[in-house]
Chains A and B, each alone.
Chain A
Amino acid sequence: MRRTTLNRRITLLGAEVWRAVASRRLAIVVLAVALAVSVAGVVASSRLTEAARVPGYYGVAPLLAMPWGEGTSPGSRLAGVGLGAIAALSLVRLLQAWVVGWGATVPRGAQVRLHEVPWGVEETWREVGAALAATGLRLESAGARGDARLGLARRSGLAGRLSGAFYLGVLLLLAASLVAQGWGWAGEPVELALGETRAFGEHGEVTARLEQIEITPTSDDGIPSLASTLRLSREGNVAGDVRVNTLRRASAAGLALYQLGYGPAARVAARGTDGAALRLQSMAQDPEPRTVARISFSGRQQEHLLALPEANMVVRMVHYPSLEARGIAGPVLHVRVERGIDGLSLADEFLTEGRQLRINGITLDIDFEYYVVVRAAREPHLPIAALGATMVLLGMIGFVAWPDRRVWVAVRAREGAETLCQFAVEPREASAGWLAGVEAVLVERACGRRDGGGN
């Protein structure tokens, strides 16, 4: 007896949970929490570092691109719990939408309609099914309780199933995030000047050398469009060339490549009095002497020093996006050449385009170039995310085109020839035209039967 009571309580509790998961009030709570999280997101974004506020080059602030924080912070754990709850909720709702017999139980406050019909239970079930089918609903059996036969009628076919795609989409998007965390990888942005080679890939297994930059000026004097050609090598073997446009994904050697932006660079070469190339030594970036130096002016470093040991000179270069004090609106390079031994100024020029400088018989060739910022990533989660987004959109179309329409049906034999048929609908559907249509069909057929039977 005690065991029966316990089982009954568990059954009732299960029914309540099932009902609560399907209820709109829970959806309201979830959306309200999401609203609070969005507001918190706006506030949190104001705490990003100053470096993120001022991108050092056109087109990107890579510090912003961090969808996943450290997994151990309390905030991340809370977010994980929240996302887990959303996943569980979506799974249950998907089952309720797609699996026959898993539909939600009768909601609280449901409007009940009773009809006495002149058929047996089985025949009544068929007649009710036919009346519901006339309005595009399909009656699914949900078992029996005592002598009552229970069922749930929902939209049939695609119209009834499409909205469930929304929950499948949410699950796929969450799964894509897990795949991204477990198997994906996103590298740091890397600056590349012409002729420079840098390592890419999670373990540096791929190297890329910037071979060429193509600049397409815009018609309205805006920022030019820039495409770069990278030569990729894997373990020393050339894997091929790939062309990457700014803010356009490219893929090669199993990696996705993003050219996030570009910035100003300078090419510097020096010749002595005899015309022979002199060696230049960058004092901040790469100290190895070169006959041609390429210098990137990124957000982190707008000033560079180059030493010419053979000429006893130091070239100091500072890049400005504009210099209003000197009436220069566009980018300008301030070049100051000093004597190495005592810092005596030998030349001081503001260059707005490439030029040749002659100082004490030494020729300095300075040209304006660009450097590019490239980021590599491995993205096994993208197809799953794309499928998830498509499912969410399809589900939303389902919600809009075919709003949820459900009737809980109970058919029970009564004493005598009559059978009692009970319809339960959500309160908002109580005065719906389609429900009136179902009832009209049922009543008409019942009257026909009674009339035909001589009643």
Chain B
Amino acid sequence: MAGGTESLVVGVAAVAMAVGALQIAARRRAAQGRWLLAAGALVCLLGMVAATVHWGEDAFLSTVTAAAGMLTFAAFWSVALVPPMPRAQAGYGLLAAGAVAGYLMAPRYLTATAVLHDVSYGLSAWAYVAGAGVLVAGLAHTPLSDGSSEDVAANPHLSLATLCLTVSLAAQGAATQWAWGSYWVGDPAEYLRLLGWIGVALGWVVAAEFGRHRRAVAWSLRAAAGVVIVVLLGSMALIQALGLPSLYLAG
């Protein structure tokens, strides 16, 4: 159970997100609902980032934290980037509020002793979470049925996600250089995170090259989102399950 001021702030912001989402869903004061959702998501994210830095928590190691962060980012981007249908916005808002409630009730998972217990590593993890959130927000623009919307708005999501993941990898390199004296140590966790970056960059280039083929664009976004979500939520569990040696789990 999380404690302290951060938890209180995050809890209140989650309630604000839920209220905003319900307003959007009910189509009553929807504009105000969108503001509430975006502001709630932002405050929630700030609170979670502060809490993880304070507690020395690694978002890559805590599925609950990563999922809550990813869905909150998705709720934020669904308002701030290319707004999807109101139903999708409301859905993201409610999902994010639920995930944040789970985050507040879940136990803390502190970083391993390899503790890249610094701002740079924290930035790396949260930039990855932000990138995953952008892609999840983008999924609302790729309905499974071939709808009537004019264009699949994949490029803004894929390009922004690539930028977020680039920031993540750069920050991770800075953190490992500072700690271990090498910005690339050949760790399986690093390879998997790089895999996510390549997946998104590939999706972006494919979406740009075959922009007129809506199905190709939609599947680029879906595939990129799938890779990044799996890496974010499951890479460390996979490394543990396969018994791979990782500095990020050492200690």
Chain A contacts to B: CB under 8 angstroms: 24-25, 27-28, 31-32, 34-35, 38-39, 41-42, 44-46, 48, 52-53, 55, 58-61, 64-67, 186, 220, 222-223, 247-249, 256, 258, 260, 375, 377, 379, 382, 385, 389, 392-393, 396-397, 399-400, 403, 427-428
Contacts and interface: CB of A to CB of B under 8 A. Distances in A.
A172 B222 CA distance: 33
A390 to B, nearest CB: 8
Given A393-B166, A396-B163, A400-B163, 18 more contacts: A24-B209, A27-B205, A34-B198, A41-B186, A41-B194, A45-B245, A46-B243, A48-B245, A53-B245, A61-B245, A64-B247, A247-B180, A248-B178, A260-B180, A399-B162, A400-B159, A403-B159, A427-B212
Contacts of B182: 65, 67, 186
Interface residues of B, number: 50
A412 B188 CA distance: 58
A403 B162 CA distance: 13
Interface of B: 56, 110, 113-117, 155, 159-160, 162-163, 166-167, 170, 173-174, 177-188, 191-192, 194-195, 198-199, 201-202, 205-206, 208-209, 211-212, 242-245, 247, 250-251
Contacts of B167: 393
10 contacts: A34-B198, A35-B195, A41-B186, A46-B242, A52-B245, A60-B114, A65-B181, A67-B186, A222-B56, A399-B159
A393 B245 contact: no
Contacts of B173: 389
A20 to B, nearest CB: 13
Given A64-B245, A222-B110, A260-B180, A45 B186 contact: yes
A67 B191 CA distance: 12
A403 B192 CA distance: 28
Those 8 A-B pairs whose CB atoms lie nearest each other, nearest first: A428-B211, A247-B179, A41-B191, A24-B209, A53-B245, A45-B188, A31-B202, A38-B195
B179 A258 contact: yes
Contacts of B163: 396-397, 399-400
A447 to B, nearest CB: 30
A309 to B, nearest CB: 40
Contacts of A55: 250-251
Contacts of A393: 166-167, 170
B227 to A, nearest CB: 9
A249 B178 contact: yes
A46 B179 contact: no
B110 A220 contact: yes
A59 B181 contact: no
A42 B160 CA distance: 26
Contacts of B178: 247-249
A400 B208 contact: no
Nearest to A38: B195
